[in-house]
Chains A and B, each alone.
Chain A
Amino acid sequence: MMRVEFFLFIAALLFAIGCVGVLIRRNAIVILMCIELMLNAVNLTFVAFAHENQSMTGQVFVFFVMTVAAAEAAVGLAIVIALFRRRLTTDVEDASLMRW
């Protein structure tokens, strides 16, 4: 069997890629996708540790993370649609009304 650390390395890389994506992309939909990427990396870590400890609690947490991801995606995309209706753009630079 593989060592758990291999999966942790993959998850760390995926999380960093998603993190950089959120910071450098300006398209709101791509930013939401990068957040999904980060949540998935965390899920992979949870499952890897659940496997290592032979405890299913980690898998239950993945279930809840998936629920939160679904809710977040639905609300986030609704906001993108509302933004697009008003401004005809999905660029977060143009949604600066509440920016300091």
Chain B
Amino acid sequence: MSKDYSILVVDDSAENRTTLIETLRAGGFTVDGAGNGGKALGKCASTSFDLFIIDILMPGIDGLNMLRELNVFDNTYEAIMMTGEENLDGARISMELGAFSYLSKPIKSEDLLAQVNRALRMVDVKKQRLARLSLLEKKVTQRSDELESMVRLLEYQGGQLDAVINSMGEGIMAVDNQKSIVLLNRRAEHIMGLRFADCAGLHIARAFEHRTYANQLSSLFVNEPIPGAMKNILSIAHEGKRTEYYNVNVKAITDDKGLHTGSMFIFSDQTDAILSQQMRDSFLSIAAHELRTPITVIMNYLAVIEHRDDNDDTLKEAIRDMQSANRRLMHLVNRIVTLANLSDGNYSIRRIATDIGLVVASEIGKFRPEADSRNISIVIDNRLKAPILSIDPGLLEIAVGNLIGNAIKFSRDGGAVHVLLMSSPGMKNKEISIAVFDEGEGISIRAGNNIFESFIQGENPLTRTHEGLGVGLYCAKKASELLGGNIEMFSRKEKGSLFTLHIPFHKTEAV
């Protein structure tokens, strides 16, 4: 047994006390003594003892009262009580109060040491248990501190995330796989005229029921553009406010494993851009319409003068040049009027049974004189199986005419333009395609990105090597979109360009 243990002997008999102390010191323990309970408890304030050996019968604070004060249940020390043979009750009570054991007087030194050693082993056990307990307690405290700071961090981050999402200039709406709304930031609330609190968890069909933009939004969802509407553009007119236009980007939301968990709609405001484009288009349209009558009047009078008998050669030449210049003006005005008609969003589509091959041939016919004068051959290869479709022939003319015109314009003299008409072979995604191929100067891929924009011609918008407005391909693209189709471009610099107009049709549209 270690000698580091300290023991306090509490007995009112000095003789007994001395005997016990000496016996224990001989056993190698550090021992102190006290003559009554009060003195003993006073010593406890300055010294920590491992074991108390207490006489039950003492004046003042007796052994049992001291035992109560010591409260051995909640402490690591132990107490051994001493009784006379006549006080069995005291022994019983002291055991109930938590004493380790009791010794009956007279006490043999070997009994004392045996009991003391056993009691001290219990003290060791209690100390170890306490140490483990306090370690555990420390760990628990530490972990709960960590948890608390994590919760604080998450709350902070959540708050920050909300702040970030709500400060964004873009409107954001997220829906889950069931198309129920799971997020609507403040900007999106403003755009949709709807509060997140009122639509959280609702299916979008329910949430936007009765809203003017409901159809536009659901068409974006299934990625089936409404014919005639601007692609990916949502127009919203709230009562008493000007119409707002938003570009809508739909993105799939996927989790860590790549599983699709929902969709996100990002709305970016395009109102200013679209309104300024509309202003530009309507200015052009008004200007072009105003030019129509003066040009016609000049044409009429030139025809009148042309038919006079007394014109000399100079006047005849002047009349021819004026007519040629005026024709260019006519052509220009017609282009602008077409552009304005396609752009203003009010084009009313009229489907009639249309022979595709005939329209293409007639468009080619319009360009024959120009092609012939530059020795350019136009080769048509019609492989259509169902040549008659119910579509808007005006739009088809615009799309095809501009592609052919473009091909001729950018061909070299003596070159060839090929036009190929095909039906797609499969039953699904039935479509016809009209491919126009030229052997002209071609265009680099980078420049190819914006050639469908209006007023851009070739590589550099500021240098125009060819006459014209640069609206041809823009008109063709607009027309193809109104037909429900699209135009694909493939081009190589110095090799030529291939433009393919795709027009989808349902089986019922084939006549």
Partners in one complex: no
